[in-house]
Amino acid sequence: MVASYPSPVDKLLTYGEIDILEVSNVLQEDREHLHSKKRGINYVEELGFTLEHVPDLLRMVVDEELNFGDGENLEYWAPIHALRVIGELRAEDAIQPLIDFFQTVDQENDSIMMALPDAIATIGEKAISPLEACITNFSQESNQDNGCEDAVIALGSIATKYPELSDRCVKILTQQLECFADNKTEINGLLIEELIELNVVESAPIIEKVFAAKRVSLCLVRNWEEAQIELGLKEQPPAKYVNYSFDEEFKYSRNQPQSTAQGFASSNPQQKKKNQKKAKK
């Protein structure tokens, strides 16, 4: 049985499915239209949410019955809507509880996994210091918590959403990468990805050191050469084309494994990172 929530929080139980990929990594110029154009909902205007509702919104976010529910049910999406309301309210009191939720969130729930860092990032500047503390505390090999990865993603999202805060976020990400010898290799990979996505060319020397030390794993950028290309420091080498005979092509195709995947793979960076986190389990 779904827990009881006061109005207007209870209205979120009936809002239903939303497209997480459509609204991730929203740029600054889109912020004023974020809810009316991208998300289709302006929660504050439509439902009258205020900061007084934050405790119940947080309770909905961590509600296990909702998070582990059936995606076909409307209630399943309520925690995502609650996260968006928190972000829209720029609710500073919610920052630490949401960061704490990094540690217990269901890793198989893609929707909540993508919405959580995005909600914290939407809150903005006040989230930077707590996220930095999370990254510092949970980045080393001796710690098995997953919170650091979400914190890195959230910090990168702040830099994207709020360009005026980019320098501060980049400094934190770079300083953490400088500790690559002590960091978990997965964290190094994620830090490199964020710095490259933010086009931080100045990070090239430390990125080169990390690859040279072989202290990186599960990274979308496979090596130092690819990193240079992504940062615009090196040109993409021309593709090599080889003319094969019909018999050679037919033989090659017969030996290739057949994919059972349907549709197209996501090009969304956050979704790729979540897939990587699952892959290492």
Least confident of 19-23, 51-55, 69-73, 173-177: 19-23
The reported pLDDT for the residue numbered 121 is 97
Which one is predicted more confidently, 106 or 38?
106
Encode pLDDT of 213-238 as tens digits.
999 987 888 899 999 999 999 888 87
The reported pLDDT for the residue numbered 221 is 87
Encode pLDDT of 242-254 as tens digits.
565 555 555 555 5
Q: How far is CA 152 from CA 24, 133, 158, 176, 255, in A?
A: 15, 11, 10, 10, 40
| Phi, psi dihedral angles at 196 (to 5 degrees) | -70, -40
β-partners of residue 183 are 140
pLDDT at 262 over 50: no
Encode pLDDT of 91-133 as tens digits.
999 999 999 998 888 777 788 888 999 999 999 999 999 999 9
The reported pLDDT for the residue numbered 256 is 52
Percent of the chain clearing pLDDT 90 (strictly above): 55
The reported pLDDT for the residue numbered 74 is 87
What is the pLDDT confidence band of residue 273, given thresholds at 50, 70 and 90?
A: low
pTM, two decimal places: 0.78
β-partners of residue 140 are 183
The reported pLDDT for the residue numbered 24 is 45
Mean pLDDT calculated for residue range 146-166: 93
Q: Across all residues in the chain, what is the average pLDDT? A: 81
Encode pLDDT of 77-91 as tens digits.
999 999 999 999 999
Residue 13, both tokens: 């139980």
Encode pLDDT of 187-221 as tens digits.
999 999 999 999 999 999 999 999 999 999 878 88
Dist. CA 152–CA 150, nearest whole Å: 5
What is the pLDDT confidence band of residue 267, given thresholds at 50, 70 and 90?
A: very low
What is the pLDDT confidence band of residue 35, given thresholds at 50, 70 and 90?
A: very low
Contact between 24 and 270 under an 8 Å Cβ cutoff? The reply is yes
pLDDT at 22 over 70: no
Instruction: Give pairs for 226-230: CB < 8 Å, separation 24+.
Output: 227/192, 227/196, 228/204, 230/196
Domain ranges (residues) in the chain? 1-113, 124-252
Dist. CA 58–CA 83, nearest whole Å: 8
pLDDT at 241 over 90: no
